[in-house]
Structure 1
């Protein structure tokens, strides 16, 4: 195993034109908890997570992915990563300094190779959280984020070489070639994945539920409420996690999941999974078929935030 500077995924931040509708969805329907609010800005926590927040929603004239945030172990690690990225010619949005969002901490921001804003921080104050109870269908934590890229091989190489993410598995087919790469920064099968898409955008953000029963209760609650379901319920082969994908009010795909695989990194070898086989995309065979319509929803709209840092 390598000594990584990035330890885990913290939060995903979204900007949208209809702030109130987006906020209400993530609170009233998705099950997140507001922890700090001001005009046009809300920070939402997951009840079972020590992270200050797992989603931030900001009002903006254009829909965009504001940033993806990761944790680091220490100030020394934050400084070392910023120095490494600078040597590689990566554009820093901000130098390492005090973080000005709830929980504080020490961190910096930069543009990844596709132009997304990425934040790395340490010493963020731990939020007082709680055990999610049996039958309680609210997210325990943010599980992972999947990102679309028109040049995914280049993006995967960036996260590997610059940020020490390691490949867990790859989805491929004889007709389309490789289409998704699952990358880890800890023993969890993936904290991010890179998908081949027509443009830079958010593919989906995934939230871990307490268990299978809570995952199904949450999926059923959204389906009964008429929230657009893209795909599921089912279980993937890569990562062995359950999945149900829905659309938020602005067309971002969000997922309820559970039981994402924990790897023995010393012995793990990446697989090539042929996703044209139905059992690869859904081991159970319970989800609606993976088809072009499902894939199209996951392409999302082109990201308006490419190489443009968010104002907050």
Structure 2
């Protein structure tokens, strides 16, 4: 991995943390249906790891009366990078939740938390312990790692600018519509096509969280397993144009959209020029033609409930 792709030393997506009212149902879903491994619990917290990933966990569930996004966590190169980022954010008027310090969550580490322009809690951390992980076997239809997170914003341009101008994310591609203008911006911090994307929506909320499968066969087997479990499939299987990755979207028990994907594009930084893809072109949404055409009904499924956690730091 290039050490200087992101000017602030942000390296990759670590985990997405969700608060859910139906905590036990969600724990069961992520373990038994989605294929994550619960590596620890702490009171009202459940830490869920992907077997192929060195990250301590890729999803954290927290029991709460209100459904919300607790935080999105990204890695940093070093403690010095965390400190420098904190100083940079302060100079940009970004609201810090606290000074950089030792993290109290599984795997420890040193990090900073702050609110993005929409009020999401973002964490950037270094020195988090890695966990024992393994190679996912042929035919094993469980997530290898977290792939990316997509967030809805009702102020797409400003949110994209926050991530590119303040945090140094790079724009990979955009989706556009003749009626609506810009619909989605794909943003990267390493050579994966995107670690984060911002979608236009009626309110800030989770659009979806995506998990990388070992290959096409495992991706299809996983898609089928989740379908057989009676989980509502929103869209897929298909293959996007931007990022060239496959997609199968499902609604988890608390109404968050989760995706299985594979073969997300890797970018040659020196050769890359962002494209704008028209969503009216059927090839933009699905190169294979196997998924239902994108419709307003499908789009609305990913609007999600308005996030109740904006500009409110999670308790842990």
User: How does the TM-score come out when normalised to structure 2?
Assistant: 0.98
Q: Would you say 1:311 and 2:315 are equivalent positions?
A: yes
Q: Would you say 1:207 and 2:190 are equivalent positions?
A: no
Q: Structure 2, unaligned stretches of length 5 or more? A: none
Alignment of 1:6-155 (within 5 A): 6-155=10-159
How far is 1:3 from its partner?
Answer: 3.6
Q: Would you say 1:293 and 2:288 are equivalent positions?
A: no
SS at match of 1:132: coil
The runs of at least 4 consecutive aligned structure 1 residues that moved more than 3 Å come to: 1-4
- Mean alpha-carbon deviation: is it higher for 254-263 or for 285-294? 285-294
- Report Cα offsets for 1:237-285 as digits up to 9, x if no partner: 0000000000000010000000000000111000010011111100000
How far is 1:39 from its partner?
Answer: 2.8
How far is 1:4 from its partner?
Answer: 4.0
SS at match of 2:98: strand
How far is 1:2 from its partner?
Answer: 5.5
Q: Would you say 1:274 and 2:278 are equivalent positions?
A: yes
1-side partners of 2:205 and 2:292: how far apart? 24
Paired positions, count: 312
Among candidates 220, 242, 252, match of residue 248 of structure 1: 252
Q: Structure 1, unaligned stretches of length 5 or more? A: none
CA contact (8 A) 1:274 1:280 kept: yes
Instruction: Call closer, same or farther: CA 1:44–1:2 in 2, change over 3 Å.
Output: closer
SS at match of 2:161: helix
Other-structure match for 1:190 = 194
SS at match of 1:244: strand
2-side partners of 1:2 and 1:208: how far apart? 22
- Report Cα offsets for 1:180-210 as digits up to 9, x if no partner: 0000001100000000000000000000000
User: How does the TM-score come out when normalised to structure 1?
Assistant: 0.99
CA contact (8 A) 1:14 1:58 kept: yes
2-side partners of 1:124 and 1:41: how far apart? 18
